[in-house]
């Protein structure tokens, strides 16, 4: 079982790309990719947990809504995320525990502010037995 993620470029903005053996790992990788883009996850301690439950109409919308919720936790509550643990998911619903801690300006470098998670060129699909996703962020 493995997963990986990276960012890719786009004229005005930035994209997240992830791949994994399972859907659960794919969403966990996407969640961490977003968190890492905002504040490097190596700077964030896993001292607290925030549960998330997100429902949507389909898998792609679920990806956008899930990432939107992660963004919300960071931006509304100033809770920095180190890891997203997916406890259970279907193609329209996901249960996640976000591990991290409250924002500490002495240790956390906010590398980027993200305005929104978009639908543009959104992709969540299986390719040769592996799950892949790409999502664009408006920054």
Partner 1 sequence: MGKAFEGRLEQIDAFRYRLPKIMRPDMRVDGIIYSSPSLLSEVLSGGAIDQVANVATLPGIVGASLAMPDIHWGYGFCIGGVAATDPQQGGVVSPGGVGYDINCGVRLIRTDLPVGEVQPRLKELVDQLFRDIPLGVGVGGPFSFSTQEMKHILDEGAPYLMQRGLASAEDIERTESNGHLEGADASAVSAEAFKRGHDQCGTLGSGNHFAEVQFVEEVYDASAAEALGLEAGMITLMIHSGSRGLGHQVCSDAIKSLRNAPQKYGIALPDRQLVCAPLDSPEGRQYLAGMRAAANFAWCNRQLLAVQMRRTLERFFDQTGESLGLRQVYDVAHNIAKMESHVVDGRRREVCVHRKGATRAFPPGHPELAEAFRPIGQPVIIPGSMGTASYVLLGAQTAMANTFGSTCHGAGRVLSREAAIRRASGRRIDQELMSKGIFARARGRTGLAEEQPEAYKDIDAVVECVTHAGLSSKVARLKPIGVVKG
Which residues of the chain form contacts with partner 1 (CB under 8 A)?
Answer: 7-14, 57, 61, 64-65, 68, 72, 75-76, 78, 103, 105, 108-113, 115-120, 122, 136, 138-139
Tell me if 44 sits within 8 A of 101, measured CB to CB: yes
- Please state the closest distance from residue 62 (CB atom) to partner 1, in A: 12
- If the CB atoms of residues 2 and 110 are measured against partner 1, the closer one turns out to be 110
CB 36 → partner 1: shortest distance, Å? Answer: 15
Q: Which residue in the block uniquely carries the two structure tokens 């791949």?
A: 19
DSSP annotation of 41 reads G
Kind and range of the H or E run holding 28:
helix 23-38
Residue closer to partner 1 by CB (options 56, 132) is: 56
- Give CA separation, 107 vs 40, 43, 49, 97, 122, in Å: 10, 7, 19, 22, 33
Least Å from the CB of residue 137 to partner 1: 10
Residue among 22 and 56 whose Cβ is closer to partner 1: 56
Length of the chain: 139
Judge contact between 118 and 102, C-beta under 8 A: no
Tell me the closest approach of the beta carbon of residue 113 to partner 1, in angstroms: 4
**What is the Cα–Cα distance from 109 to 93, expressed in whole angstroms?**
32
Nearer to partner 1, 5 or 20 (CB): 5
Q: Would you say 45 or 115 has its CB closer to partner 1? A: 115
């Amino acid at each position: 079982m493995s997963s990986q993620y990276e960012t890719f470029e786009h004229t005005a903005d930035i994209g997240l790309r992830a791949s994994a053996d399972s859907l659960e790992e794919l969403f966990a990788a996407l969640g961490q990719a977003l968190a890492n883009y905002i504040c490097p996850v190596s700077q964030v301690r896993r001292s607290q947990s925030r549960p998330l439950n997100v429902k949507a109409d389909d898998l792609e919308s679920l990806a956008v809504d899930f990432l939107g919720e992660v963004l919300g936790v960071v931006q509304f509550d100033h809770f920095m995320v180190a890891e997203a643990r997916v406890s259970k998911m279907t193609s329209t619903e996901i249960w996640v525990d976000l591990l991290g801690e409250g924002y500490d300006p002495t240790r956390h470098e906010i590398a980027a502010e993200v305005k929104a998670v978009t639908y543009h060129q959104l992709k969540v699909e299986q390719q040769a037995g592996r799950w892949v996703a790409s999502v664009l962020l408006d920054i």
